[in-house]
Amino acid sequence: MATTSAKDLGITPGAWNLDPAHSSVEFTVRHLMVSKVRGHFEKFTATTNIDDDVTKSSVTASIEVGSITTRDEARDNHLRSADFFEADKYPTIEFVSTAIRPNGDDWKLVGDLTIRGITKPIELDLEFNGTQADPYGGVRTGFSATGELSRKEFGIEWNAAVDGGGVVVGDKVTINLEIELVKA
């Protein structure tokens, strides 16, 4: 079972700042039921406070919807439209943690995710990747998180049927986060 003491993990309790240059917010969704399209958001922020009892730590994050990229400008513009994220009306995706619990040698990060003004609970598998001094006199720590959500639960329902059965866009979205934090 994962230890719940930050000090046992080698993490100094307190505020940690996101290093966006060494972090990523990515997603994967089925396309035409035969392949998967990957995308990411280029702009995001997070505030993390690590408590000595890791289960009492907190995370808040905000993702700028307009920064979505899937390497296809037309598709990215469609994703920003009212058919999907409606970025003009809902410019951010928000996450606020509500619990962190041990899960074997790793963790579960539980929180409220808000997309298009709809808030739903989400549970992410969280892996602690370690802590390391950097060459600039700072200390860094890293985490990987993965999870799944139903885009329809957040009001993202656009789709089109294809000949032979199936749809253009799958409902299940896989989330992959690589997060590097710097001790404040």
d(CA 181, CA 47): 9
Q: What is the pTM of this model?
A: 0.93
Residue 81 per-residue DSSP state: S
What CATH number does the domain located at 6-183 have?
A: 2.40.128.110
* Residue boundaries of the structural domains of the chain: 6-183
Per-residue confidence in pLDDT tens, the chain, 184 aa: 677 899 988 999 999 999 999 999 999 999 888 889 999 999 999 999 999 999 999 999 999 999 999 999 999 999 999 999 999 999 999 999 999 999 999 999 999 999 999 999 999 999 999 999 999 999 999 999 999 999 999 999 998 888 877 888 999 999 999 999 999 9
Torsion of CA 129, 133, 137, 143, to 10 degrees: 0
**In the chain, helix, strand, coil percent, each to 5?**
15, 55, 30
Contact (Cβ atoms closer than 8 angstroms) between residue 63 and residue 93:
yes
pLDDT attached to residue 163: 82
- Taking the C-alpha atoms of residue 142 and residue 124, their distance in angstroms, rounded to an integer, is 15
DSSP 32: T
C-alpha–C-alpha distance, residues 154 and 179, integer Å: 24
Model pLDDT, residue 1 = 65
Rounded to whole angstroms, the Cα distance separating 41 from 17 reads 18
What number of CA atoms fall less than 13 Å from residue 115's CA on the CB side?
22
Contact 149, 12 (CB under 8 A): no
Which own/partner pairs from 110-114 qualify as long-range (CB within 8 Å, at least 24 positions apart)?
111/59, 113/149, 113/154
Q: Which residues pair with 34 in a beta bridge?
A: none
Question: Using CA atoms in the order 61, 66, 71, 75, what is the torsion angle rounded to 10 degrees?
Answer: 120
Q: For residue 146, how far is the Cα from the chain centroid? A: 8
